[in-house]
Amino acid sequence: MRSRITPTPPAKAQALRALGYALGLSLLGHAGLLLLNSTAEPAPDAGAGKAKHSPQLIASMQTRPAAAPEPAPEPARSKPTASPTPAGRPAQQADQAGPAPEAHPPSDAAGSGAASPAPALSSLPSGEWHYQLSQFGREGRAVLRWDLQADGAYALSLERELGGRPLPGWRSQGRLEPQGLAPQRFVQTLRGRERAALNFRREEGLLSFSASDDLLPLEPGLQDRLSWWLQLAGLAQSQPERFAPGREITLRVAGLRGQPHDWIFEVLPLETSGAGPLLHLRRQALGEYSGEVHLWLDPARQHLPVRVLFQLPDERSWSLQLMPAPAGESSAPDSREAP
């Protein structure tokens, strides 16, 4: 059986078309609104006034310090002018150190006194003095000879013998100058032959040794191993105020093979002997093997040494004691017998 399509009345068909148009317009309107919402930017939050960030970014911004703005450059300043300082010393040290103190010689250094020992030594007459030598428990003899020429040249020697056998002797030659004895050559001798020599080369300002090739600067006032005996006598005679007990006198003395040393003599209390008071000087030991040296000077004999003691740390110690002058001779300036 065939179905039949019944035709729709005209009024009803118009109503259906109107409904379809309205539905289509509604769909188009909703589609347009959706399109507008998807393309428009979200409005900012008016209350916060800031863009929203993720928690991780916020934490990072809170813990990272804000970069400090670069300071404005300071205006250029004029550099102060540095005061000149001596070469070889930093400016800071020069400012803090102040002026350098002037160098002064030691108050008791030999030759620093106003009075010169030369007149006292020039008044010491040429001659020889005999001593009793003691060493190794035995007795011997020694002779100290002094000769001063009119032109100022001097010669000083010491000869010793013990038990009839000669011991090494000493000889000093030089000139008498305002500061006292100025040695030019010192020699150690044995049986008349030179064994060692020390040369004071004053024109060159050098000190040389026969035992070595060393050359040392020649120091002013330097004495040899024998000249210091009479140099001290001249100082004590011309500058007695410096030889008060407790004072110290320093001489520079050169050895045969080494550097010059300071010989520091301590002035000890006066000692009284049968012939009168004696000035007692003690040289401090220079080292472990040098020992002390004692010297007794007689003011009545122009401070001539009347006793000498080399107190060495072993049996090599030896001493000299001035002996009375032989009959008919005068060995001391005042011809008085030794104590």
The pLDDT tens digits of the residues spanning 247-279 come to 999 999 998 877 899 999 999 999 988 778 999
Half-sphere exposure of 163 (CA within 13 A, CB side): 4
d(CA 326, CA 304): 18
The three-state DSSP-derived secondary structure of 172-220 is EEEEEECCEEEEEEEEEEECCEEEEEEEEECCCCEEEECCCCCEEECCC
| Domain presence at residue 296 | yes
Which of 325, 231, 317 shows the shortest CA–CA distance to 281?
231
pLDDT digits (tens, 9 = 90+) for 56-68: 433 333 334 444 4
pLDDT-derived band at 115, boundaries 50, 70, 90: confident
Q: Does residue 104 belong to any structural domain of this protein? A: no
Please say if the pLDDT value at position 321 is more than 80.
yes
Single-letter amino acid, residue 226: L
Domain count, the chain: 1
pLDDT digits (tens, 9 = 90+) for 124-164: 999 999 999 999 899 999 999 999 999 999 999 999 999 99
Q: Dihedral through CA 208, CA 151, CA 114, CA 105, nearest 10?
A: -10
Range with the lowest mean pLDDT among 140-149, 233-242, 287-296?
287-296
Which of 13-27, 64-78, 168-182 shows the highest mean pLDDT? 168-182
Identify whether 290 is part of a domain: yes
Dist CA 263 CA 296 (whole Å): 16
Instruction: Name 302's Cβ contacts closer than 8 Å, sequence gap at least 6.
Output: 120, 123, 124, 233, 237, 333
Distance CA 219, CA 202 (A): 9
pTM summary value: 0.65
Task: Work out the burial of residue 110: count CB atoms within 10 Å of its CB; fewer than 13 is exposed, 13-18 middle, 19 or more buried.
Answer: buried
Does residue 209 form part of some domain?
yes
Query: CA angle at residue 324 from 225 to 171, to 5 degrees?
Result: 20
Note down the domain range covering 230.
118-322
Residue 254 lies in a domain: yes
- Confidence at residue 197, expressed as pLDDT on a 0 to 100 scale: 95
Indicate the DSSP class of residue 109.
B
Answer yes or no: is 252 within a domain.
yes
What is the predicted pLDDT for the residue at 331?
55
Asked if the structure places residue 282 within a domain, the reply is: yes
The CATH code of the domain that includes 197 is: 2.50.20
